[in-house]
Structures are given as C-alpha cells and as structure tokens.
A and B are shown apart, each in its own frame.
Chain A
Amino acid sequence: MTAHAEPLHGHEDHHGPPPANQSSRVDARTLGMLLFIGSEIMLFGSFFAAYFFVRVVNPGAPDQWPPEPYHFPVFVAGVNTAILVTSSFTMHWALQCIKRGERAGFLAGMVLTFLMGLAFLLTQVVEYLNVGFNTGDGAFASVFFGLTGLHGAHVFVGLSLLLMVIIRGFRGHFSPEHHHGVELPGIYWHFVDVMWIVVYATVYLL
C-alpha cells in the first residue's frame, strides 16, 4: 500500500480532517445498521397494524381466516421457513470462518446462504402464482400480499447485500481484521430471517 493511505496529521501539512473522537464503544456502522433495522421494524409494524385492523378490529371481519374457499399454503411456506432459518446459521458460520481467517469456509458459507435465500424467494414467487387468489380478492389477500411482499422485498435487498459480499469475497477481500463488510449484511440477514418467523406465524399459522 502507498503512503497516502496513512492519515496525514501534522500542523504544517494538514490535508484531511482531524480524526474524530470516538465517544462510544459502539461502532458507528453497526449502530447505523441497528437504527435502520429499528426503522424497518416500524415499517413492518404499520403493515401488521393494517393486518390487525382488517382481521381483528373490523366489525365485518370473516369468521374463517382466510375466508372460504381460499387456503394459504401453510406447508410449503413452512418448508420455506426452514430454509430461511437454516440460512441464518450458514451466515453465522461464514462470519465465524472469516473471523478465524478460514477463507474456504467463509466463501462456502456465503454461497450457501445466498442460494438458500434465492430458493426462498423463488419458492415465494411460485407460491404467488399458484396461491389461487389475487390482490383484488379482498382484504385478506391485501394483507397476505402486503406482508409477504414487503418481506420478499427485504429478502431481495438482503440477497443483493449477500451478493456484494460474495463478489468481494471471491476477489480476496475481507480478513480477520477487516470483516465489517460481512458482519453488517449478516445482521441484516438475521433481521430478515427473524421477521419472516413473525410474518409466517401471524399470516399463516394464527
């Protein structure tokens, strides 16, 4: 590496900002990601609120959920849940590997996580095509597509982040000292995973 990578201090030759004081033990990027996730939880909260209004508060809510003659594919979505939960473990494994400097395990873990996430998303697309109702078929369909679709969009964002880690990983980036670029997408991926468990339990099981 070249000399300019070093921060330039010195009173006579001052080209960059003074290094900021680190006033918290929390890393700024991790904190930013956690706050972002807090905001995302509230966004899901508004969708859950809509679900609550349609199914519980609404005086005309149907007795059966979903109303006759529709059915939610509980089993397929259950298998999908298992896939997504597993991918959280492989993600964790990948992160632990790069922390120990085991490149092969890191790359294998990332690729496995990505493939499982992709399988989840594709299964959801197939589920949408065969679910037997459409967005226009009533409020139950609105909240079904709303919650699962919002989650699907998050899986897509998560997959994009994972892909970014994979590209950089295969190009030889990340090391036991520098793995923030793995850790932050990892935190996001775990959030997407946990959120799915809540969505699955609410929409399909309850």
Chain B
Amino acid sequence: MTATHPSPDVQQYPAHFEPPHGSTWRTFFGPGLVRGAWMTVAGFLIGMLLVLALRWWWGWEPLWNTEVILVVGGMVLAPIGFLAGIGSFDYWLHYISGRPTRPEDHSGHGAKTWKDYFRVNTDHKVIGIQYLVTTFAFFTIGGLMAMFFRAELAQPGLQFVDSQTFNGLVSVHATLMIFLFIIPAFAGLANFAVPLMLGAPDMAFPRLNALSFWLLPIAGLMFVASFLAPGGAFGAGWTGYAPLAEGQPLGQTFFNMGVQWAGASSIMTALNFLVTIITMRAPGMTFWRMPLLVWANFTTSLLVVLATPFIAGSQFFVMFDRVMHTSFFVPEGGGYVLGYQHIFWFYSHPAVYIMMLPGFGIVSEVISSMSRKPIFGYRLMALSLLGILVLGFSVWAHHMFVAGMADWLRVPMMITTLLIAIPTGIKVFSWIATLWRGRIHLTTPMLFALGFVTMFVIGGLSGIYLGSVPIDIAASDTYFIVAHIHYVLFGGSVFTIYAGVYYWFPKMTGRMYSETLGKWHFWMTFLSFNATFFPMHYVGLRGMPRRVFDYDEAFGNMNLFISIASFVLGASFVLFVYNVITSWQRGPVAEANPWRARTLEWQVSSPPPIFNFDEIPQVVGGPYEYGVPGARHAILTPTKEAQKEAEEVHA
C-alpha cells in the first residue's frame, strides 16, 4: 500500500465510532421493524407510481391495472423496501457507496433477549431458531387449513365453503407445507447444526444467511394474503398447472411471486451451505469424516442450486402469460401447454429429494447415537445420497404419464424412477443394520426416527406402485396419490423434522424437553397419522378423485373417519407446542451432551458459546465410532470455564 493510495479494500471507522443516537431518530430511521414498516409502504407507492407513470407515458388504457400494480408495487418493491428497512442491505449499501464500512463489532451476532430474534441477526444459531419458529408458525396455519377442509370433506356435498375457497384452502395448505415448512425447517435445523458439526465459527456468508431468512416470511405472507385478493386465494393446486392457473382470479399472482421469494431464499441458503461445507471444515475434517447430516445438506444444496431456477422460470412464464399477454402456454398464440409440466416437474421432482435428503441426514445422526453403534455402511450412505441427486434429475416425467406427453418417454422414466429405489433401499437397510444388536435408547427423537423408517417404507412402496406406468394410469389423480405423498412428506419429512427438533432441542435452548410429553406426542401423532392417511389408499383405489369438494355417498363413512382422525392429528400438535414452550421456559437445564453423541456440536456447551468454539477443533476420526475402543472424532481445546475449573481442582 503506497502513500498515494492509502485506502485498502475496506476502510474502517476509528474504534470509538458510534452511529448517531437519539431515540426517535433511531426508531424511525435506524434499521428495525419500524423502518421496515414505512419502507414497505414507500416501496409499494414507488411501484404504483412507476406503473402509473409508464402506462400514462405509453397511453395505455385503463391507467389503473390492479394486477400489474400488485406485482410491481406489492410483490417486488414493497418486499425490497421491507428488507432494506429492517437493515438487510445496510452493509452492502455502505460498501457500494464507497463510504468506509463499519468494522464488524459482532453486535448483530447472538441473541440476548427475545427482541434480538426480530432483528437482522448474522449468527447462524439465531437464524436457525428464527427459521424453525417461523416455519412452525406456518405449519400451524397450514395445518388449520387442512383441518378446515377436512371438516368440509367429512360429508359429501358443500357445507362450509364454496368451491373456489375449497380449492384455495387445499392449494395454500400444500404450498405452505412445502415452501414454508418442510424445505425451510430443514434449512433451519441445518443452519443451527452444520457449522457446529464442521467445526466452523459461522456460515461462510453470515449477512447473506440473514437475508435468506428474511425472504421467507415475505413469501409466506404472500401465500396467506392471497385469501384477501378479489376472487379468493389461488386454487390451481400447489402445482399451479397452466392453462388452469392462467384462468384463475388475481390470487394466482400471489402464488407466482411468492414462489420466487421462497425460491430465492432457498437458493441463497443452499449456496451458503455449499461454500461453508467446502471451505470452512475444521482441520482433519475430510469429506469422509463429515457427519451424514452435513453430507445430506451438501447434496440437497446442490439440488436446490441447480433445480430451483426451473420453478422460478415456470412461474415467471405463467405470470407473463397473465400480466403481459404472452403465449408461453397459450395454444392459440402458438404456445405449448405441456411445456409447463415439463419445466415445473424438472424442479419439483428434485424438490421431493430436497424435502427428503436432509431428513435422511437427521435420522442417520439420531439412529447412530441412540443405538450406540457406528452407522452401517457410512461411505455407501453418503454415495447413495449422491446417487439420488443424479437420478433425481432424470425422473421428472413420471408425474406426466397421463398428461398426454410423448409415449416413448414413459418407459425410460419408469425405469429411472424404479432405479431410485436402489439408493433409497441402501439407506433403509443401512439404518436397520445400524439398529441390529445396538443398545437402543427409545427416546423421543429415536421414536420419531423409527417411525420415519417404517412410514417412509410404506410411502416408498406406494411410490414404486405409482412409478409403474400401468398402475399410475389407474391411480392417477385419486386419493391414492394423496395417501402416497403424505406418507412420504408427513410420515417421512415431518417425522424427521420432529426427530431433529427433539434431538437438538437441548443444544438449542440449553434446556431439556419433557420426555413423557414427547412420547405421548409421538404415539398420538403416529397412530392418528396412520388413521388419517392409510384409509386414503383404499378410497383412492376405489376411485375417489383428489382435489374435489364433493364425492360419492359411498365414500361418506370413510371420509368421516379420516376427518375425525385428522382432528386428532391436529390435536397431537398441541402437545408438541405445549412441550416446547414450557420446556424452553423452565425445563431442567440440559447437559452439554445429553445423548453422549460424538459429533462436534455436542462437544461444546448447551446452548453453544456465541462463536461456537474458542479454538477451531482438530478432527482425528470418523463421527460415529460408538463403542470402538480408543476412537475419537475430534480434539477440542477446553473452554475457558473448563480450564478455570481444572485449575481450581489442581489448586
């Protein structure tokens, strides 16, 4: 650095710099929810004026077009205004303007009070909890919607809602569960656990991490707010098929744009995970020593980064067709209707694995540590994840066997679909082999993990049925499909999320949950889940179509039974919420390592120190060497507290 060019890449304020105080000024213009609120309004107004000005300039009639103004003002600029308002962009704007950036004082790190969870926080542990609380809030909303339309379906005919509202409830339920619960809940658990497991102080890009969390509530509110739109919520299903979606009322736009925000959120998180896993592993943490949760998130993130742009594309096309009068999927204009399904499923089939692979990782952690045995076939477990990743991109058209696509595509897609059973089967057999002759501890996370393995096998088997062209042609668009996806996504993904939340609850909160309530929660969920969804196989094969508000009298009793069971399933969630809230407030203080697990996150205090480790640990072996004499996963420098204690003992 020469004297003529004194500035390095990043200039810094002197150490005594403090941003200007003054309480009123700060409340309104300092980063936070208040500035977020008025900047949301400002963003909307700017968008509205922009649209009006351009339409006036081009002389388009009518000047006021609600859908365009909603898209530009309400769904693009208002969210950007909100993000800027809460302070997501502050550091970058400082950088861009060429002004000196503030030195990192770690004030955006860690949480001292509950208010810190409502700020742009750069601590991966805080972000993980932000993710989980947000996603469980949307899980509650989505679940209430499900109970509402189950009440409607308890009897044939219409009782409570009209048909468009029914379709809206079903579509928003599915959309929330997929984009606002399963995918981000896994991202939340991984956000908390992965940097700790790697021996890293944080994620690679903490500010990007904070931004990707805050995109999520935006997407969720957009989906829920579609009920307020004239004409009701989007009712074309979570698949939003064109041309059905193009004739839907205004609510459909909320889906088109909400998916973009949720998608951007998951792409940024996935990118962050990949960079963290590649560049920030502790010394000695080779790829073949990484815990399987890290492996699972590595493969999932690759899927997210590569596949998610396709759903963004598909929703852009539908929105352009609706707003800009293009004809991507309009046959009269020369568009190709089936193209939507190809592009959509090219994302949405890999998305099934995005919703499953992190769960495989969680279950591997839980089963290994709760049966006190090394995971069986560790390398094959990791490689089978990669196998699913590659195969996952080659099966999308099995969702389209009855859609009228090219006939020659059917058999290749059937073969690749059935091939996926091989890596998945490897995983299931490895879990069983891990349990074999293990010292099994039937704690709540273990119960959920075992529940997952059994339920996922049922869901996987019905998946093999549906992967075969002849059966699929008969069962397509019936309740058999509904049963299948709920065995995979509820019995599969949601059970693993529960397992993960119970497993890491002591680490996250520093307190122990109530084991009794947890076991009640498991058994109630497990039984009512089966009572709800198993009969759907039967009514489906008998010919009851999915996505209908009315059905044949013959299915009446069956549906009444399903509806009652689904209310029990909903009630079981109350046990979980009660357990979490009371244990978080006044549960018994948790030890650092209540499960005696080997992975790194259990070697630090509960909750972990603000920067995870005082010194980066040295990894010396695999993560699952339970019962292997002399085996160690990592060597940690004792924390300051431990050193002090040791000194006191010696003195």
Contacts and interface: CB of A to CB of B under 8 A. Distances in A.
Contacts of B6: 172
A31 B277 CA distance: 11
B95 to A, nearest CB: 8
Nearest to B92: A164
A36 B616 CA distance: 28
A86 to B, nearest CB: 26
Contacts of A26: 278-279
A197 interface: no
A20 B5 contact: no
Contacts of A177: 1, 8
Counting chain B residues whose Cβ lies within 8 A of the other chain, the interface size class is 35 or more
B177 interface: no
Contact of B616 (A21, A27, A170): A21
Counting chain A residues whose Cβ lies within 8 A of the other chain, the interface size class is 35 or more
Contacts of A1: 8, 12
Contacts of A47: 313
Contact of B7 (A31, A35, A173): A173
A83 interface: no
Given A11-B640, A24-B278, A50 B309 contact: no
Interface string B82-116: 00000000000001111000011010000000000
B614 A49 contact: no
A18 interface: yes
B608 to A, nearest CB: 12
Nearest to B328: A142
Contacts of B280: 20-23, 28
Which interface residue of A16, A17, A168 has the most chain B CB atoms within 10 A? A17
Contacts of B613: 18
A130 to B, nearest CB: 15
Interface string B594-619: 00000000000000000111111000
Contacts of B307: 42
A23 B281 contact: yes
A164 B335 contact: no
B274 interface: yes
Contacts of A146: 316-317, 320, 326, 328
Interface in A75-127: 103
A139 B336 contact: yes
B202 interface: yes
A138 B328 contact: no
A121 to B, nearest CB: 17
Instruction: Give me the 7 closest cross-chain CB pairs, A-B, nearest first.
Output: A46-B313, A178-B9, A53-B339, A139-B334, A17-B201, A43-B309, A17-B611
Interface of A: 1-5, 11, 14-24, 26-28, 31-32, 35-36, 38-40, 42-43, 45-47, 49-50, 53-54, 57-58, 60-62, 67, 103, 135-143, 145-146, 164, 167-168, 170-175, 177-181
Given A18-B201, A142-B327, 7 more contacts: A14-B640, A20-B202, A23-B279, A28-B279, A139-B335, A142-B320, A173-B7
Interface of B: 1, 5-12, 14-15, 95-98, 103-104, 106, 199-202, 204-205, 267, 271-272, 274-275, 278-283, 285, 305-310, 312-314, 316-317, 320-321, 324-328, 330-331, 333-336, 338-339, 342-343, 346, 611-616, 640, 643
9 contacts: A4-B12, A17-B611, A18-B614, A18-B616, A21-B281, A135-B324, A142-B335, A146-B320, A146-B328
